Amino acid sequence: MAARRTAPRLLNTLCRVSSRRFGALPEGSTSSSSQHLINIEYECSAHNYHPIPVVFSQAKGSSIWDPEGNKYLDFLSAYSAVNQGHCHPKIMKALVQQAERLTLSSRAFYNDRFPVFAECLTSMFRYDMVLPMNTGAEGVETALKLARKWGYEKKKIPKDEAIIVSCCGCFHGRTLAAISMSCDNEATHGFGPLLPGHLKVDFGDEASLEKIFKGHDSIICCQVIIPPDGYLKAVRDLCSKFNVLMIADEIQSGLARSGRMLACDWEEVRPDIVILGKALGGGVIPVSAVLADKDIMLCIHPGEHGRVKGDQINRVNQVYGRCDGPCGDDAEEAERELDGIGSVYENDVVFLDAQLEQCVREFGNGRFELTEG
C-alpha cells in the first residue's frame, strides 16, 4: 500500500527528472493534452481503475512519452506484459508479418503455426502439453478447472467436494474464481457470494499448510506467490506427500522476469501446473498458457473447455513458434544474461534514489525490485 500511495509523487518527479535527461518526444505524437484525455476517460469509461495522471502517447523500449513531450522511464512494464520493452522491433516485425498472412483460424481447424508454438513452449519449460488462452485470468480459471477435473477423475474425490488452497496476499485476477482465493476485502466486498470450495492459508506458513492438508482429503491444488526462501520447496514436498497438485501462477513472474525462466526455478521446484501470461504476448496481444503433463492435461476432453479466439496465438507465434525466439538454447542464454540483473539495477537506481528520497529494497530475485517510501 505504501508503494501505491507514493506512486503519484514518484511518477511526477520522474517526469521532471526524465524530461531534463532523456530528450524530447519523437515525431508522430498526439496533439491532445493529457488533462483533456483524462477528462474524457473519466466521463466515458467505467471507474474500475484509478490511474496515475500520466498519459501514454508513444513508447519505445523502456521509454514513454506523454502528449506534452515529457519522457518517462517505465518501471511498471504493464505489470510485466512488456518485459521485452515497448514496441520491440522483432516482435513488431513478427506481428505485421503474421497479420498479413493469417490472423485467425479458430481452433475448429488446424493451422500451420500453433503446433510449432506448442512444441516450442512445452520444450522450453519441459512439460508434456500446453493449453493456450487469452488473458491471465482465463489461464487461472483454466488451471482451476483442470485441477478439479483431475481431482475427480484421478484422485477420485467425491462429486463437488474438491478444495482449492490459496495463500493470503495472492492476486490471481478479478474473476469470481480468482477473488474467491483472495483475502483482500477491497477485491471481494460487494461481489458475494464467492465460489465455494476454497481454503486460505497464511503466506509463508508451511506448518499451517500441512495442517490443512492433513485435515482434508479432497484438496486438489495449492497456489503460491513469491515466497520466503525454502517455502516453495516445502510446498512442493507437502503437495507430493499428500497427492495435491501444486499450481504456480507465473503470469507476472515467469519468462525471465526474476532472472530465471520461472521464479520456481530459483528453488529448483517443478509445479504440477504452470500458468503463463503477460510477457508471453510480447506486449502486443493478450496470450496466456497453462502447462502440465499428460496425466493432468488429458483430463480435459473436447467440448469441456476452450476459447473462441484460440488461434490468436498466430500473431505472437512468429516470435516464439519458429524457435528463433527465446526457446531452447536461446532461453538458457537469456536466463544467464538476466541472472543478477537485480543487483545491477539496484546500483544504477542510486541516482533516482537520491533525488526521490525513496528507498529501494530487493523483493525476491533477479529483476524483482520494489520502490517504496
State how far the Cα of 238 lies from the Cα of 326, in Å rounded to an integer.
32
What sections of 73-188 are H helices per DSSP?
Answer: 89-101, 114-125, 136-153, 176-179, 185-188
For residue 311, how far is the Cα from the chain centroid?
A: 20
**Whether residue 211 lies in the annotated active site:** no
Question: For residue 54, what are the CA distances in angstroms to 4, 25, 69, 72, 369?
Answer: 15, 15, 12, 9, 22
- Burial (CB < 10 A; 0-12, 13-18, 19+), residue 40, is exposed
**Which residue out of 71, 149, 278, 368 is catalytically annotated?**
278
**Which residue out of 56, 75, 154, 171 is catalytically annotated?**
171
Task: Give the phi and the psi of residue 371 in degrees, each rounded to 5.
Answer: -95, 125
- Map grid coordinates 467436494 to a residue: 161
Q: Look at the alpha carbons of 332, 333, 335, 340 in this order and tell me if their dihedral is positive or negative.
A: positive
**Which residue out of 66, 71, 213, 249 is catalytically annotated?**
249
Cβ atoms of 66 and 55 within 8 Å: the answer is yes
Residues 6+ apart with CB under 8 A from 300: 131, 145, 146, 149
Element (H, E) at 73: strand 71-73
Phi-psi region of 126 (alpha: psi -120 to 50; beta: other; left: phi over 0): left
342, three cell numbers: 537485480
Cβ atoms of 123 and 116 within 8 Å: the answer is no
CB atoms near residue 362 (< 10 Å): 13
Cβ atoms of 97 and 318 within 8 Å: the answer is yes
**Whether residue 278 lies in the annotated active site:** yes
CB atoms near residue 179 (< 10 Å): 21
Give catalytic residue positions: 171, 249, 278
